[in-house]
Amino acid sequence: MKIMVVAPGSIYSTYDTYTYCLDALKRVNGDAETNGFDFHNIIRYHTSAREKIFEDTKIQFGSEVTDIIRSGRELVSEIFFTVPDFVLVIDGSKFPPMIYHSIKRLQAIMKPKFILACHITESPYIDEVIDNYIKYFDVVFCNEKTDVARQDPTDSKHVYYLPHSYSRDVHTPIGRKSDDAHDVFFCGTIYPERAKIISETNWSGIDAKICGTWALVEEGLEKTCFDHGVCFDEVMPNSEVAKNYRSSKIVINFGRTYGWTPDYEERITDITNSYSVGPRVIEAIAC
């Protein structure tokens, strides 16, 4: 059996899900040939080429959207030439619909026919977006337990609950330290509602490190957070995050309601009925 695991396009949390999923499949599948398609690196390649062309010739050769579309075409070509039996897409929300159309058309003519699957990692934050593309998949693994019934109300499709996990190579309590510990540690995307909690917390007398990317936070709110002296505009490799989990006294994780629509307009999602935790909670507990 040949398995292809497709990276999500992101370079943070869902990329880690891709990496560890790929490693796990390589370990447990014995004779199966398992390979990854690094979608994010293909995008970087096209972006670098486009920027270099503009630098040398002043010719504008497309845009960021074009980079994603070109990368998607390379994915279609990779499927055609490698002839996998099983294609597993992680997340899937970053892919233009035309890519899914192309993959399904390819699936219809290839022999033997491959199975197209997706591990949804962003439910229930972007359910409207997810609903637009899960129809293309033969099998769906969903990270949110309560969303399985919504996606498959008649229990007639191949939709399964697959909770987030961790890597035993990276997320381990071995190597705990107390001498250089923070009192409180958090690393992740700083969504607006997370920033609001951070800004309203009294951090005096607490050795805390709140780090991540602040791109989604308004400038005024970001300044209020940084004025506390505990915030950092820093994204760590997952192995470095795990070291901080091990050495910190308290690890916190903020739930979020921030999401976006199919048109990529910002929206607030009601997660009152959600059940499952995100990957960082499980990773922290493992450490």
Select the more confidently predicted residue: 13 or 125. Answer: 125
- Residues 62-67: contacts with CB within 8 Å, 24+ apart? 65/96, 67/43
pLDDT at residue 75, as a whole number:
95
- pTM for this structure? 0.90
Whole-number average pLDDT of the chain: 91
pLDDT-based confidence at 278, cuts 50/70/90? confident
For residue 171, pLDDT beyond 80: yes
For residue 180, pLDDT beyond 70: no
Asked if 276 and 286 count as a contact pair (C-beta separation under 8 A), the reply is no
Per-residue pLDDT, averaged over 70-83, amounts to 95
pLDDT per residue over 219-275, tens digit each? Answer: 999 999 999 999 999 989 999 999 999 999 999 998 888 888 888 888 888 888 889
pLDDT at residue 38, as a whole number:
94
pLDDT at residue 263, as a whole number:
82
Per-residue pLDDT, averaged over 164-176, amounts to 87
For residue 179, pLDDT beyond 70: no
pLDDT-based confidence at 102, cuts 50/70/90? very high
pLDDT per residue over 146-166, tens digit each? Answer: 999 999 999 889 999 999 889
Range with the poorest average pLDDT among 85-94, 211-220, 261-270: 261-270
For residue 6, pLDDT beyond 70: yes
pLDDT per residue over 10-65, tens digit each? Answer: 877 888 999 999 999 988 877 789 999 999 999 999 999 999 999 999 999 889 88
pLDDT at residue 39, as a whole number:
93
> Distance (Å, rounded) from C-alpha 145 to C-alpha 232?
33
